[in-house]
Amino acid sequence: MKGFFALSGGESELKGAPEIVKLLPLGHVSTKKGDFEVDEESFKAMKAQMQQHGVDIVIDYEHQTLKDIQAPAGGWIKELVLQDGAIAAKVEWTETARQYLKNKEYRYISPVVFVNKDNRATMLHSAALTNTPAIDGMFPIINSLGLEDYGDSDNKEGGNNTMNELLKKIAALLGLGEEATEEEVMQKLGEALNEAKQRGDAAGQKQPPEEEGKIVANKVVCGLLGLEAGAKTDDVAAAIMALKQPKGFVPETELRALKEKIERKEADDAVLVALKAGKIAAAQKEWATEYALKDPDGFKAFVAKAPQVVPMGELGVEPDGSKAPQRASEETLKVCKMLGVSEEDLKKYGFGKDDK
């Protein structure tokens, strides 16, 4: 499966409700999680994606679309263009969003794009009106997260193999060098906390002078982390891990859920196109959806080569892809009339019922 990064960023300041909004700069982009490219190939891929899906791209508020909650649109991206060294969007704003922008209640737009393993931005998922840009400037990048980065980002070439300033202080208090890895700090900290707990819990027990330093050091560590003295090892570990998460961090579960949601929508769209073209029957919808989910390219190739098996006008599907109710032909109605059977009785007791 192709790996990708979910990028939420590239905020651009808005003045009023402009018809064209800059989304991403062309060129080499550096982020806390690695570098990637935005070029004309990125633009072509994003533009092709819009044309293939045939739908406008939503601009919501505060990235609500990513949270799987009700996400009203503030605008719709109708077309992507290249303008002044950036990928820009022609936007149709809602009246509510226009008022927000006019009143300066929202001032920035932040796109969400996907970056493939070739380090190139290739897909525009959505954009959002926001007031919380992470970095000053026209195109600040908030965060770049890769599925393959979770759990082993420190081992990747170019990754962050040293502690930040606070973790360096903790490492020094534990007698470790500033180049100590996270695993070394965590192991040493766990050992020191366990020793302190075993000795400190003994009522009235005087600590040897050589051991007092360890307990004092642990108190200092807890203070640096904003924890009470004697905090549990798990709490200290959680606080240290929180230091490593960049602003705008998206949990792995949310990122995977978003990916599955996108793949499902693409599969449903592909099946609906096949149904409308008469390449498959309504009864094949479930099979076709599973096929499109497992092998999107294979399903597209199948549809392209498959003959039309359902005559136009008899597709048996509604515009949303659901199975359409069957209707009796003129010949059937004539025979029923001769037999004294009304069309209402035919619908109620016979024609149109699913076989059991």
State the Cα–Cα distance between residues 231 and 222, nearest whole angstrom: 7
Out of 65-79, 216-230, 341-355, the most confident range is 65-79
The pLDDT value recorded for residue 261 is 87
In a shared domain, residues 299 and 330: no
In a shared domain, residues 33 and 130: yes
The 10s digit of each residue's pLDDT in 291-313 is: 999 999 999 999 998 888 766 55
Residue 273's SS3 state is helix
Of 221, 244, 267, the one marking the end of a domain is 244
Could you please report the per-residue DSSP string of 93-127?
E-HHHHHHHHTTS--EEEEEEEEETTSBEEEEEEE
Quote the domain boundaries for residue 60.
4-151
Tell me which amino acid residue 241 is. M
In a shared domain, residues 8 and 135: yes
State the Cα–Cα distance between residues 21 and 56, nearest whole angstrom: 15
Task: Determine, yes or no, domain membership for 102.
Answer: yes
145's enclosing H/E stretch is strand 141-146
132-150 mean pLDDT: 37
Residue 319 pLDDT more than 60? Answer: no
Task: Determine, yes or no, domain membership for 157.
Answer: no
Task: Determine, yes or no, domain membership for 160.
Answer: no
On average, the pLDDT of the chain sits at 71
The pLDDT value recorded for residue 249 is 56
State the Cα–Cα distance between residues 205 and 285, nearest whole angstrom: 74
The pLDDT value recorded for residue 81 is 95
Enter the pTM of the model. Answer: 0.39
Residue 337 pLDDT more than 60? Answer: yes
Number of domains, the chain: 4
- How many CB atoms lie under 10 A from the CB of residue 147? 15
| Residue partners of 261: CB distance under 8 A and separation at least 6 | 68
State the Cα–Cα distance between residues 273 and 77, nearest whole angstrom: 22
State the Cα–Cα distance between residues 48 and 50, nearest whole angstrom: 5
In a shared domain, residues 40 and 74: yes
The 10s digit of each residue's pLDDT in 76-107 is: 999 999 998 889 999 999 999 999 988 888 88
Q: How far is CA 26 from the centre of its chain?
A: 22
The pLDDT value recorded for residue 42 is 92
The 10s digit of each residue's pLDDT in 32-47 is: 555 778 899 999 999 9
Place of tokens 């059991």: 356
